[in-house]
Amino acid sequence: MSLLLIVLLPFLGALFPALMIRAGRTACATTTFTFSLLAFALLLSHAPAVFDGEVVRVSWDWLPGLGLNASFFLDGLGFFFAGLILGIGLLIITYARFYLSKDDPMGSFYTYLLLFQGAMVGIVLSDNILLLLVFWELTSLSSFLLIGYWKHLPEGRQGARMALTVTGAGGLAMIAGMLLLGEIAGSYNLSDILLAREAIQASPLYLPALLLILVGCFTKSAQFPFHFWLPHAMAAPTPVSAYLHSATMVKAGIFLMARMWPVLAGTTEWFYIVATTGLVTMLVGAVIALFKDDLKGLLAFSTVSHLGLVTMLLGFGTPLAAVAAVFHILNHATFKAALFMNAGIVDHETGTRHIPHLGGLLHVMPITATLAMVAGASMAGLPPLNGFISKEMMLHEAVAAEWLGSGWLIAALATLAACFSVAYSFRYIVHVFFGRTRTRLPGKPHDPPAGMWLPPALLVVLVVLIGLFPDAVAGPLVAVVSRAVTGGQLMDYHLALWHGITPALGLSVVAVAVGLTLLRFYPRVRAAWAAGPHPEAKAMFETVLAALVALAQRVTHGLHNGSLQRYLAFAITAVTAAGFAAFFGTSHAPGTRPLLPAEPVAIVAWLLLVGGCGLTVFLFRRRLLAVLVAGTVGLIVCVAFIYLSAPDLALTQISVEVTTVILILLALYFLPKQGPHSSSVRADPMRHLRDAVLAIVAGLGMGGASWAMLTRDGTSLSRYYLENSVSEGGGTNVVNVILVDFRGFDTFGEITVLGIAALAIYALLDGSLFGRVGRRLSTWTPDLPQSVDRHPMIMVVATRVMLPLAMLVGAYIFLRGHNQPGGGFIAALVVSIALIMQYMASGFGWAAQRVRVNYHAMIGAGVLVAAATGIGAMVMEQPFLTSTFAHVHLPLVGEVEIASAMAFDTGVFLTVVGAVMLALANLSRMGRRTAQLPVNQSAMDVDPSAVSAKEPN
């Protein structure tokens, strides 16, 4: 249970910053810090078990039919990454409190940060790859919000869009790869997949799965050629940059490669794809970083380079290379987070991050300079700091690796990347903190308050301690994490600052010497770099994106020309073609079930149905008559349900039919009563011929499919529902029991969609009531004469007398629905019709004054009540929406059945009433807006809200 809390605490905490900001910035930061601290403390409580080699597991069935379970597990690797995410997260939260200005919405910032933190923790602790994919996509969405936090800056919006596009596309590829991997292993649980190495690598689907998964990892961890999005994410506030680059976003791909190492590594494909990509990324990132003038840009490309270093080590596929990768992940997190926060301090206090404008800050910012020098030296790989040790381990593994038979190529290129790493690290130190002091700066440089320099100082202390005492400080952690990465394969090794004179040490010395030389002759090196070609990844990305958008627009505009007939033609053609292909693609025999004689009543109803459909087509231009004829078709279908002994369906059909006809009639008020003359057969005979052929072929196909089903024997779920309706659902009305119990989840989804559709209708109609469209409606003249008597007395009296009777009928239908024809849906439609008739008979103003119901709230309440019913079942350790029932004896009344399904039906009732009334009442509002008040109209009929800017809902 504590593992679930570790994941949930950041998400729960995200609810509070927006509220606590009202109590002040410190209160907001403290609340955020507290939730992260609680999650971190819970994680540390598992440390003894993890270091003893145990794996902590917890799992709940969620959608077992899809293999999707809420499963989490904590081993050394998960503990390591979760510790980085939460531990550095605490430092970032503290740092951000003092970094963000008073104009920045701190509540939103901490909300986004906690959402992102929770998604990252979910990734590293998930034991189900489908659940991992959910958290994976959440990181893309929440990082989009963080990167674009300063949405007033164009570069912030562009960087957020670029990050979301690249990582989102990679995520789609990874989803496919993970599904293939689950199919190969026969399970979607990571615990099972990690034990299926032989089966996975022997499968013909191994390479496609590997490529798809690596695309997701490479895009997330900014590997070449997907590296370009990461530097543009620097438009985010520095706390975001420090968090994303050191411990979270970009480490997600690294984590997944490490997690999948036991089953995917060790093959030729893995080595050449992963190691080569990492090596190229390491070199490209290091070279570009040297020539970046923006502090955060330099650090961003250095992050790209170091991520490539870790990727290369994982690609080598040897246990010692995996140890080096784990150790460098730890070291990089410490010095890179410290450096990003240091760059933020420089920017915050001087007003600029442009390196040519900086210099000599050592004298005015000694604390900041000291922290930068130690962290920068570690990034350069100088002893006695932690970066030196992991760099030596990297070079040792590079010397031992061969690429296409060459034993020196990887080592040479890795050393060249190390040379540039030394150069850009010292450029950060020397060009910013040494040299001539700049006097013309936007701000007056000075060391910041302790809240800003203490978080990076703590990381710098770790940089020194790990460097001096690596085996004591980091040894146990690296060992337990490495065992998790390699699946237990671990050779004897020890972390030490000195391993004697080795080839790796020699290469390291060369890297330092060449790096310092590059810095010494930097102007000349810079001039040589400027003279060469520099493909701009951002420009290429924008060009490709613009081309894709233009292509999509051409295709879309070519297909979607605004003609509903065309869209229906495409859809019906596709469905009909698929049906006939399935029919003629298999063998079939005539049905053996005997036919029933057609009774005269059925024949008459069929003729009326055909006639109604024909008249609807013939009268389609006379819209009012077409609606009325179509309504009669619905009534005939209702009679057919009664004839076939389906009273529940008949009640539903007739109530839906009446409601739909009223809705269409209200909408037709704003449309011409005649259809466009251009739609005549003479104007476009080919289109009408197409429609006629499609209608005939589709009708024959549906008729043939119905005939085939009715004349053949087969099994059906209906028998199960009939046998278990009373025993399992506690109701004799099988239809209602199916809706609220057996298929309750479907119904829950349907009412949710219905509520969303009603809100969309409200938004569309609300836009027509105000602004330019509203002004046009207010001056619109109907195309037909209007009745002088706007509210006929007979209709007014009849509807008001029938209202309480209709409400009583609705309540009766609702209460009897579990055992007799009825239920929440039908009752809701009955009540809705009774209410909307009040609007139609007495006018919107009269009805709105008396029916003071917030239909938005009613929709929300309905969905929440239905959800609460399902959650209540889960609390009782039953599947979602499992219903229960009991019989109680009441005095004078007798035995009464009480079913939990009634609560769910109440949610259905509220949602349907709210949705129908929201749509119909707003159509009535539009009608009232267009009506011109007669001179002699009584003031009693005028809606008081008409004088306001906006009418009531």
Provide the b/e sequence for 714-742 (b: ≥16 CB within 10 Å). eeeeeeebeeebeebbbbebbbbbbbbbb
Nearest CA to 9 among 135, 137, 84, 115?
A: 115
According to the 3-state scheme, what is the secondary structure of 8-33?
A: HHHHHHCCCHHHHHHHCHHHHHHHHH
Q: Which residues pair with 889 in a beta bridge?
A: 895
Q: What confidence score (pLDDT) does residue 878 get?
A: 78
Query: 890 in helix, strand or coil?
Result: strand
| Contact by Cβ (8 Å): 416, 289 | no
Q: What confidence score (pLDDT) does residue 938 get?
A: 36
Nearest CA to 155 among 108, 163, 138?
A: 163
Give DSSP secondary structure letters for 733-794. Answer: -HHHHIIIIITHHHHHHHHHHHHHHHHHHHHHHHHHHSHHHHHHHHT---SSPPPS-SS-HH
**CA 665 vs CA 509, 554, 611, 628, 860: distances in Å:** 85, 37, 22, 9, 27
pTM listed for this prediction: 0.72
Q: What confidence score (pLDDT) does residue 770 get?
A: 67
Under DSSP, the state recorded for 610 is H
**CA 897 vs CA 310, 736, 881: distances in Å:** 65, 15, 18
Q: What confidence score (pLDDT) does residue 947 get?
A: 33
Distance CA 308, CA 315 (A): 10
pLDDT tens figures, 807-820? 999 999 998 888 88
Give DSSP secondary structure letters for 517-548. Answer: HHHHTHHHHHHHHHHS----HHHHHHHHHHHH
Q: What confidence score (pLDDT) does residue 67 get?
A: 60
Query: 406 in helix, strand or coil?
Result: strand
Distance CA 911, CA 758 (A): 10
Distance CA 239, CA 380 (A): 23
Q: What confidence score (pLDDT) does residue 193 get?
A: 92
What is the helix (H) or strand (E) element at residue 4, kind and residue range?
Answer: helix 2-13
| Contact by Cβ (8 Å): 113, 94 | no
What is the helix (H) or strand (E) element at residue 566, kind and residue range?
Answer: helix 564-584
490 alpha-carbon distance from chain centroid = 38
Positions in the chain short of pLDDT 50: 678-681, 932-953
Torsions phi, psi of 816, nearest 5?
-90, -5
308 alpha-carbon distance from chain centroid = 28
Helices (H) and strands (E) in the chain, counts: 41, 4
Q: Left, alpha or beta for 46 (phi > 0: left; psi -120 to 50: alpha)?
A: alpha
228 Cβ neighbours under 8 A, 6+ residues apart: 162, 166, 537, 538, 540, 541
216 alpha-carbon distance from chain centroid = 16
Q: Which residues pair with 95 in a beta bridge?
A: none
Distance CA 587, CA 596 (A): 26
Tokens representing 152?
A: 């007033």
517 Cβ neighbours under 8 A, 6+ residues apart: none
